[in-house]
Structure 1
Amino acid sequence: MSVENDSSQVLAADATSSLPTFPLAPGYRVNVRSGPGTNYSIIDVLPAGGYVTIRCQCPGTNISGPYGTTNIWDCIGNGRFVSDAYVKTGSDGYVAGRCA
């Protein structure tokens, strides 16, 4: 995961969505991958201070980050995944349904 500090942007959450939205770890830019693991390519980088809407969650590569070590990956859009270790969900477990 990328750790550069850039607080100039905030990702806007979809206000019409009923899906849960959570903040990213402060001070971290977070890599978005094409699947639930570090073996998948980086397709985007979320800005420090951003938020994500979690559509579903699934197991993948174990990652250590500011919110602990976990193998949970959050799907934030079609083919877009971030490690839950960089998302402040308030839980060490699943907070959304499992990805199909």
Structure 2
Amino acid sequence: MSIDESSHTAEATGPAQAAEATGPAVQALTSVTRYPVAPGYRVNVRSGPGTKYRIVRTLAAGATVAIYCQTPGEWVSGPYGTTNLWDNIADGEFVSDAYVNTGRDGYVAPRCS
């Protein structure tokens, strides 16, 4: 577990930004399921599947995300367990699956290529 993943800010240090993972035009063209981020958490969105990747934005508490694909990466502990699974929520944007309530362990979307 990363030290900065241990608080309710889910290693977020900056102000929360828009909760949406993609724009309305992209959402209208795809039929992906949206999943809630753990209640009370502001989660950093990274440029790759690990906490060493740069933060591209922060999801607001109560956000939902569309998961387009999933990939293994750094192990993270969060409110939904410990996992190395990272969710791709937009082009070049990843969040740890430990902070997303997908309702199950393991993959819920295709593997990223």
TM-score for both structures, normalised by structure 2: 0.78
Q: 1:36 aligns with which of 49, 52, 70?
A: 49
**Code of the aligned partner of 1:44:** R
- Counterpart CA distance in 2 for 1:68 and 1:41 is 23
Cα displacement (A) at 1:11: 2.8
In 2, the alpha carbon distance for the partners of 1:61 and 1:40 equals 10
* Amino acid corresponding to residue 82 of structure 1 in structure 2: V
Which contiguous aligned blocks of 4+ residues in structure 1 show a shift greater than 6 angstroms? none
Structure 1, unpaired ranges of 5+? none
Contact 1:30 1:47 in 2 (8 A): yes
Identify unmatched segments of 5+ residues in structure 2.
10-15
2:16 is the alignment partner of 1:3: no
> Greater strand share, 1 or 2?
1
Distance 1:43 1:25, change over 3 A: same
Shift of 1:39: 1.4
8 Å contact from structure 1 (residues 9, 49) kept in 2: no
CA distance in 2 between counterparts of 1:75 and 1:20 reads: 13
1:36-91 C-alpha deviation (Å, 9 max, x unpaired): 01111111100000000001000000000000000000000110000000000001
Cα RMSD after superposing both structures: 2.0
Q: Which has the higher helix share?
A: 2
| Structure 1 position 3, deviation (Å) | 2.4
In 2: Cα distance, 1:9 partner to 1:52 partner: 13
Q: Matched residue of 1:40: which SS?
A: coil
Equivalent position of 1:56 in the other structure: 69
What's the TM-score once normalised by structure 1's chain length?
Answer: 0.87
Q: Does residue 21 of the first structure (1) align with residue 31 of the second (2)?
A: no
CA contact (8 A) 2:17 2:57 kept: no
